[in-house]
Amino acid sequence: MQDRVVHNTMSKDTLRRHRALWNREQMDRPTWGVSLGFFANEVYPRTMANMPPGPVNPEDISIENLLEDCDDRWEAQRDLGDFPYTCAPISSVPWLEAIAGCPIMASPTSLWAEPCLHDWTNWEWDRSVPANPWARKLLEMMRVLVEHSKGRYQVSPTLMRGPADILAAMRGATQFAMDFLDEPDLVVTALHQCARIWREVAQDQLDLIPPSSEGYIALDAALRAWAPDKLLWLQEDAMALLSPKLYRDFVLPIDKDLSTSFPCVAFHLHGTALWAIDELVRVSGINVMELNLEAVMCDEEGTFAGWKKIVEHKPLVIWRTYGDDFSSWLARIFREFPLKGLAIQISVRNVEEARKVQDEFRKYEKY
């Protein structure tokens, strides 16, 4: 399986653009990609339709349904943008939170983790990650996807979030924030154990990804980036629950360590933590950064300022959903941003919107 080399998922010109993006070289336009759907039932319609509502176990997730969903998305997204379709074990599942012991729940549109660590006195960490049924399911899914894709499209590691996100899920948002004040020593130990889970699961997935002659794309939807070597996404959405000092003192050292432990790392960031940009752009192990344009309660000008700060230091991925303002928004991007180190990912509801996105970018082909 490891001997298979992925060929011809992108043209020579597209590959040239990705390399230029990685090296932050001047381009004629940003690289761009489009992703059909956003909610789990839009991205994985068969998989979600056959998943029972309420508590979910690993055996409830149908690999056969996932394969059909991936093939449909590959067909629908062919020739749309610079990012060829890439699949991953269903990224809507909170895999690492499940491995850490959180019950996983499902609704018709999403999956989430419930707290599992209600009392520190009952906390145990003598568990084997490879023996965990959720870890076994995840890696089984990776193996099957690699074999099924047959080089038609790449397979990416799934969304793993970050150590602080895992601990926040385990403890619940309110208690997680209080723990930094009430039980700082336990928090440090727990974060390192969450990082151990992240590290082991990340490496096990990378080991299953075949070598590619044209670099690697991860993830499978809005969070996509290209890298010359195997790529992982790291994030810490739970930093929004912490002060900048608590993040710097407790979580940032762990993120720095993780980011230097793997070939290539991209970091996903929300507009709720714009203050973290100054810290993260200085982390040498983070190769690419992504910052959302939030749909609700967005500090739009602060987000634009954040994008400009990131692109001065690292390749930047901008993500947003398609809307009526897309044309004017894209015009502003072309006016205000240097055309180097910049990629744009757009989530759309259907192929019609995807074509509209394509038409807007084509206006700037000879910009």
**Which segments of the chain does DSSP mark as H helices, in order?**
12-22, 40-43, 45-49, 63-76, 95-99, 133-149, 163-171, 173-182, 184-208, 244-246, 252-259, 277-280, 300-311, 326-336, 351-362
| Rounded-to-integer distance, Cα 262 and Cα 113, Å | 26
CB 221 within 8 A of CB 347: yes
Q: Which of 221, 214, 216, 212 is nearest to 74 (CA)?
A: 221
Fold assignment, 12-362 = TIM Barrel (3.20.20)
Q: Looking at this protein, which amino acid is placed at residue 327? A: S
Instruction: Look up residue 305 and give its two tokens.
Output: 């300022």
Q: Which of 120, 108, 234 is nearest to 170 (CA)?
A: 120
pTM value surpassing 0.85: yes
DSSP 8-state symbol, 248: I
Residue ranges per domain, the chain?
12-362
CB 346 within 8 A of CB 32: yes
Per-residue pLDDT of the chain (367 residues; tens, 9 = 90+): 455 555 567 889 999 999 999 999 999 899 999 988 888 999 999 999 999 899 999 999 999 999 999 999 998 888 888 999 999 999 999 999 999 999 999 999 999 999 999 988 877 776 789 899 999 999 999 999 999 998 899 999 999 999 999 999 999 999 999 999 999 999 999 999 999 999 999 999 999 999 998 999 998 777 899 999 999 999 999 999 999 999 999 999 999 999 999 999 999 999 889 999 999 999 999 999 999 988 766 788 999 999 999 999 999 999 999 999 999 999 999 999 988 999 999 999 988 999 999 999 988 876 4
Tokens 């990685």 belong to residue: 22
